[in-house]
Amino acid sequence: MHVVPDTSVVIDGRVSASIADGTFADATVSVPEAVVAELESQANDGLDSGWEGLSELDSLAGLADDGEIELEYIGERPTAGERGRASEGEIDALIRDLAEERDATFVTSDVVQAEVAKAKGLTVEYISPKSRDVGTLTIEDFFDEETMSVHLKTDTIPKAKRGALGEMRYEEIADEPTDEATMDEWAREVVDGAKESPDGFIELTEPGMKIVQFRDYRIAVARPPFADGIEITAVRPIAQTDLEDYEHADELKERLLERQRGVLVSGSPGAGKSTLAQAIARYLETHDYAVKTMEKPRDLQVGPEITQYTALGGQMEKTADALLMVRPDYTIYDEVRKTDDFEVFADMRLAGVGMIGVVHATRPIDALQRLIGRVELGMIPQIVDTVVYVEAGEIDTVYDVQTTVKVPAGLTEEDLARPVIQVTDFQTGVPAYEIYTFNRQVVTVPLDDDEDGPGARESGVDRIAKQEIEREIRSIARGYVEVRLKSQDKAVVYVEDDDISSVIGKGGGRITDVENRLGISIDVRTHEENPHSGGGNGGATADAGSANGGRSGGAQPTGDPVGQLVQPEITSRHVVIPVEGHDGETVEVQAAGEYLFTATVSRGGEIQVSRGSAIADELEDAIDHTEPITVVSS
């Protein structure tokens, strides 16, 4: 008998099995080089199928040495182009052609290959893929009732996480390290069990990494070169709870049933986020809501009434598109981590689907902050209106998220009212945070000073306010500038003596403009007055909170003119200032050394100020009082 096997039957180990049972006794087995090339490629990619096929070829070589069969390799290795078209059946066609040329029996475990070969008139021996009943995996012996996860690696002692939620212990569960041969055996058993058991499937397969779902276990198998040794991590949920088991469950249940909502279930790893999400899913399903899940990998423990979807074609966006056709009332999105996940979550929520997202966070507010920058700020309350924070298996905090229009915390001027996201403690009704835009930056302000300890506000609006004040003053002053906040709406700015008049401006006009823009009262002082630098007293100040908005306290500047002295001319319509040598430049106009305004010199070498304007009135007043008018390059 002359047989030509294809790749599928070699990988499955069925050729040597058929020789052993006498089906191919004394046969000539011609292995195509195309089969060898495929197996070699798969093995190089770290795929178990490649190694299994090469092991079968080694078994056939042993049978040939024992005289039980004749073994030969035929044909030529496929070209790179032919290998690239393997998914289109190019390699399969080469193998069938070799069987036809030798008038041999074509052996395959691929039903499609078998049907095509029959249609081509070949003699075909179809051997169905082997199957076996899968009992328990060896690694299941490491689990007890309190074990959440088992961690195995070559040349290390097996460890496990055991204990109640929030009280997990990472401890050794064996006396001796596991050798590589044992780890390889366990890893193959896991993958084979997932393939062959109706209760298992391979969730992810990449070179060096496989993620398997086997009954209640989610198992990750890593191999070199992805990992520095064979590693198996098996996780199993240790608790299944009902929503009624949680404190504050009644309020949360009413909130969920009231209408479809956007909920983030947050917490640190192992806190019980997924356990709560499962309880919510089962509760919603029993109250006549159509519930689905989006998971990668799928490991939520829910009933068969709730369909669990993974990434369609590797993309959750495609899963979302499919789910919108299914029209669920609620979707549980397990592990919302990357920007794409948040965008999919937002799209489905805005389409009207109730969404429960599981998010890693170390504080309740962090879950909401992970949306900032990923979606438009004003849309956040439409996407997420509830944040549930889980700690040690219990609901620790529930936040209500709403938009309101008000003057934000930390600002005082009424004209600074704007849309503010208000985050309120759901149980107490007390506002906990405000999120808003301040000078193009998003600020999260804790309303409870003790929430984050001393200095919490400094990391929020105060830090940005100081930056903005410093930026404004630095655009005026030439020397060193230091800003210190006295309260939410008051600041002190310390500048060099020579910069006092420029920063304040005539009659306090310039500093008043800055105060109006920022909504903060600013007191201008010299560095000598700074108690933090050991300076003295005296000097000039400007306090926009005073009645005239001008300077208060200390001595007035001497007013010594600096720059080009000019002689303005007053006409019927303009005050004309002649400026020599500064055509097209931006300059400052000062009276007695104090800032009046900034202007650009025309090509004719002059500045024209329309009479009747506030600037012209100040200029004319200075001229009437014979104050020296100077022009300084800006």
CATH assignment at residue 199: 3.30.450.90
Residues 228 and 263 in one domain: no
- Residue 550 is predicted with a pLDDT of 34
Core vs surface per residue 511-546: b (16+ CB within 10 A) or e: bbebbeebbbbbbbbbbebbeeeeeeeebbbbbbee
| Domain stops at, among 398, 426, 452 | 398
Q: Which residues contact 508 (CB under 8 A, 6 or more apart)?
A: 542, 544, 548, 549, 550, 551
Residue 562's φ and ψ, nearest 5 degrees, are -125, 130
Residues 388 and 284 in one domain: yes
427 within domain boundaries = no
The C-alpha atoms of residue 612 and residue 624 are separated, in whole angstroms, by 15
The C-alpha atoms of residue 221 and residue 191 are separated, in whole angstroms, by 8
The C-alpha atoms of residue 107 and residue 566 are separated, in whole angstroms, by 104
- Residue 173 is predicted with a pLDDT of 93
Q: Check if the beta carbon of residue 372 is closer than 8 Å to that of residue 347.
A: no
Residue 319's φ and ψ, nearest 5 degrees, are -60, -40
Position 377, amino acid:
L
Q: Check if the beta carbon of residue 109 is closer than 8 Å to that of residue 127.
A: yes
- Residue 376 is predicted with a pLDDT of 87
Q: Which residue has the higher pLDDT, 178 or 628?
A: 178
Query: And the tokens for 111?
Result: 């039903």
Which CATH number is 483's domain given?
A: 3.30.300.20
- Residue 429 is predicted with a pLDDT of 87
> For 46-50, 400-404, 514-518, which range has the lowest pLDDT when averaged over its residues?
46-50
Q: Check if the beta carbon of residue 551 is closer than 8 Å to that of residue 562.
A: no
Per-range mean pLDDT, top range of 220-229, 297-306, 404-413: 220-229
The C-alpha atoms of residue 122 and residue 366 are separated, in whole angstroms, by 65
231: confidence class by pLDDT, cuts 50, 70, 90? very high
Which CATH number is 377's domain given?
A: 3.40.50.300
- Residue 570 is predicted with a pLDDT of 84
- Residue 508 is predicted with a pLDDT of 81
Average pLDDT of the residues of the chain: 83
- Residue 172 is predicted with a pLDDT of 94
Q: Which domain holds residue 326?
A: 243-398
Residues 274 and 205 in one domain: no
- Residue 423 is predicted with a pLDDT of 94
388 within domain boundaries = yes
Query: And the tokens for 407?
Result: 């003057």
Q: Which residue has the higher pLDDT, 65 or 550?
A: 65
404 within domain boundaries = no
Strand order in the sheet with 482-487: 482-487, 490-495, 521-526
The C-alpha atoms of residue 265 and residue 223 are separated, in whole angstroms, by 33
Residues 108 and 230 in one domain: no
Give per-residue pLDDT as tens, 70-94: 999 998 888 777 666 655 667 888 8
- Residue 451 is predicted with a pLDDT of 43
**For residue 325, with 0-12 CB atoms within 10 Å meaning exposed, 13-18 middle and 19 or more buried, which class applies?**
exposed
Q: What angle do CA 277, 332, 244 make, to 5 degrees?
A: 30
Give per-residue pLDDT as tens, 36-74: 988 888 888 767 788 888 999 999 999 999 989 999 999
Residues 346 and 493 in one domain: no
| Domain stops at, among 192, 215, 235 | 235
Nearest CA-CA partner of 9 in 110, 123, 132, 100: 110
Q: Which residue has the higher pLDDT, 378 or 593?
A: 378
Which CATH number is 69's domain given?
A: 3.40.50.1010
Residues 500 and 597 in one domain: no
- Residue 461 is predicted with a pLDDT of 60
The C-alpha atoms of residue 185 and residue 152 are separated, in whole angstroms, by 12
The C-alpha atoms of residue 138 and residue 127 are separated, in whole angstroms, by 29
Give per-residue pLDDT as tens, 84-143: 665 566 788 889 999 999 999 999 988 888 999 999 899 999 887 765 556 788 999 999
- Calculate what percentage of the chain has a pLDDT beyond 70: 88
For strands 521-526 and 490-495, give the pairing: parallel
pLDDT at 152 over 70: yes
537 within domain boundaries = no
Core vs surface per residue 431-451: b (16+ CB within 10 A) or e: bbbbbbebeeeebbbbbeeee
Other beta carbons less than 10 A from residue 364's beta carbon: 24
406 within domain boundaries = no
The whole-number average pLDDT for the span 600-625 is 82
Q: Which residue has the higher pLDDT, 519 or 21?
A: 21
- Residue 372 is predicted with a pLDDT of 85
Residues 157 and 98 in one domain: no
Residues 481 and 590 in one domain: no
| Domain stops at, among 66, 95, 126 | 126
Total structural domains within the chain: 5
DSSP state of 393: T
423 within domain boundaries = no
The whole-number average pLDDT for the span 177-190 is 91
Residues 249 and 385 in one domain: yes
pLDDT at 543 over 60: no
Residues 103 and 157 in one domain: no
Residues 19 and 70 in one domain: yes
Other beta carbons less than 10 A from residue 347's beta carbon: 17
453 within domain boundaries = no
Residues 25 and 156 in one domain: no
Q: Check if the beta carbon of residue 426 is closer than 8 Å to that of residue 386.
A: yes
The whole-number average pLDDT for the span 337-364 is 93
Q: How many angstroms separate the most distant Cα atoms in the chain?
A: 124
604 within domain boundaries = yes
Place of tokens 């899940």: 293
pLDDT at 507 over 50: yes
Nearest CA-CA partner of 267 in 93, 82, 110, 395: 395
The C-alpha atoms of residue 113 and residue 47 are separated, in whole angstroms, by 22
The C-alpha atoms of residue 177 and residue 197 are separated, in whole angstroms, by 29
Give per-residue pLDDT as tens, 459-471: 456 667 777 888 8
